[in-house]
Amino acid sequence: MMASVFSHGLLLLAGLCALLPRTQTTDDEDPYDPSIGSWQCRKVALTICNVSISLFKELTQQSRDGNIFFSPISVVASILTLSLGAEGNDSQRILEALKLNKTGLSEAEIHKCFQYFLRATNQPAEMSPMISGSSVFIHQGLKLVDKSLKGIKDLYASEVISTNFRESSKAKAQINNHMMKKTKKEIGTMVKELKNDTFLALMNYIIWNGKIIRYYSCHFLRMEDFHVDHQKTIKVPMINNVGLFHLFRVRDLSSMVLVYTSPQVIPFTFFILPDHGKMHEVEQRLTYPDFRRMFQQFSLRTVKVQIPRLLVPETHGVESVVNLLGISPLFKKAAISSVAVEDTVQKSFKVVSKAMLTLDGKDISTSPSSCLKKDEWAAVPLFQLNRPFLIFAQERTNSIPLFLGRVAIPRR
């Protein structure tokens, strides 16, 4: 693990795969720029995808065999949110570290692309299984500088809330209660520890309750073996289903791939199952063009699937990412210059990104007897996620990488 350069204080950027906030403005106040759209922002989305694979590979080196799950768009957005307060050429150097300077867009246009991504992805509740939002807590008596405040509200749709961080227990309760209310109790405890020298807490969240949409009557839950490694096997509740999926083999990655593309959910979801003993090799060989080539192999077919019920919350420090990018000093300066306070220069902060995906199958009630004895399913191919696998979820319209990770233990 890379050593953190941040020793105390807290900037908490946390959430269930943070980002994708619902706008806080009315239609009359909406600052959205209609001149920015999919065509102008396509290179930004592609850059984020490529950066996400690099970050994933770094995380695999830090955790060889455990769960890894994060939101690439949220990590990049957290860095860009803080870059709004950067002085001089610091913000441009941050864009260079993220390779966003090669998109051909200005800094202002890049931020507007993120605004567009949020707007395009944030579907009405009745159409989307996602819950999302963003809040900034700032110590009472302090204020965000004007350019940071405007960008945080207009571009990243965050609300700003005054908090007395000197009374850390009350501040922690305020944040946790606020997040519990905003997420309809999906998030129980957002903050477990909060130091009294905190001056800013930026919280973004997205909750994706994934579902396997059924096209046939054959679906049920049953306890099955999940082989964590060649020595350890655990019992997990497995969703058994017969449905329409894209199933194919990627020879270059020594993997079988199942892709879920139902129009009833926002993301394309890739489940990548490496051959036995090939996980680490696949992780290091993986590139974003691999996913782009997979689209050419799409062929919808009937498949019997066994997918474990998933509850995979993982926490990763964004400071290790900025260390990797070589912009730790710039990141720190940008965060400090976002707040109008004289003594903040002497303080450090910590950035945390928490990601969660659930695939629960709560509404599955059909018994195995309704489909296991049907002879017509005998020739249908079987796809079993009964050992560690990779998962990648990409927003459908703009190809934004929402989630990326390795599932080594399905439920935590």
Task: Over range 220-225, report the average pLDDT.
Answer: 88
Give dist(CA 278, CA 123) in Å, integer.
38
Pair 179, 192: CB distance under 8 Å: no
Model confidence at 279: pLDDT above 90: yes
Predicted confidence (pLDDT) per residue in 333-373, tens digit:
887 888 865 555 546 565 666 677 787 666 665 566 666 56
User: What is the reported pLDDT for 262?
Assistant: 66
User: What is the reported pLDDT for 28?
Assistant: 43
Model confidence at 22: pLDDT above 50: no
Model confidence at 316: pLDDT above 70: no
Nearest 5°: the CA angle 16, 17, 21 is: 90
Alpha-carbon Rg for the chain, nearest whole angstrom, is 22
pTM higher than 0.75, yes or no? yes
pLDDT band at 97 (very low <50, low <70, confident <90, very high): very high
Pair 72, 401: CB distance under 8 Å: yes
CATH 2.30.39.10 fits domain 219-308+366-407 = yes
Handedness of CA 403, 409, 411, 412 (dihedral sign): negative
User: What is the reported pLDDT for 398?
Assistant: 85
Write down the mean pLDDT value for the chain. Answer: 80
What is each CA distance from 130 to 45, 93, 205, 261, in whole angstroms?
20, 33, 10, 16
Q: Among 111-125, 302-316, 324-338, where is mean pLDDT lowest?
A: 111-125
Is the model more confident about 175 or about 267? 175
Give dist(CA 118, CA 32) in Å, integer.
10
User: What is the reported pLDDT for 356?
Assistant: 72
Domain ranges in the chain are 38-210+312-357, 219-308+366-407
Query: Which contiguous run of DSSP H or E holds residue 59?
Result: helix 38-62
User: Which CATH number describes the domain made up of 38-210+312-357?
Assistant: 3.30.497.10
The helix/strand count (H/E) of the chain reads as 10, 14
User: What is the reported pLDDT for 9?
Assistant: 36
Model confidence at 19: pLDDT above 50: no
Model confidence at 24: pLDDT above 60: no
Residues 6 or more apart whose CB falls under 8 angstroms from that of 279 comprise 388, 406
Task: Over range 246-254, report the average pLDDT.
Answer: 95
What is each CA distance from 258 to 74, 94, 249, 307, in whole angstroms?
25, 36, 9, 11
Is the model more confident about 22 or about 300? 300
User: What is the reported pLDDT for 78?
Assistant: 81
Percent of the chain with pLDDT over 70: 77
In the block, tokens 């420090």 appear at 317
Helix axes 318-325, 72-83, angle to 10 degrees: 70
Model confidence at 393: pLDDT above 80: yes
In the block, tokens 């109008």 appear at 340
Q: Among 149-158, 215-224, 403-412, where is mean pLDDT lowest?
A: 215-224
User: What is the reported pLDDT for 18?
Assistant: 35
User: What is the reported pLDDT for 16?
Assistant: 35
57: left (phi over 0), alpha (psi -120 to 50) or beta: alpha
CA dihedral 157, 193, 348, 198 (to 10 degrees): 60
Pair 171, 193: CB distance under 8 Å: no
Q: What single string gives the DSSP state of each residue in 174-202?
A: HHHHHHHHHTTTS-S-S-S---TT--EEE
Model confidence at 117: pLDDT above 90: no
Task: Over range 80-96, report the average pLDDT.
Answer: 88
Model confidence at 266: pLDDT above 70: no
pLDDT band at 10 (very low <50, low <70, confident <90, very high): very low
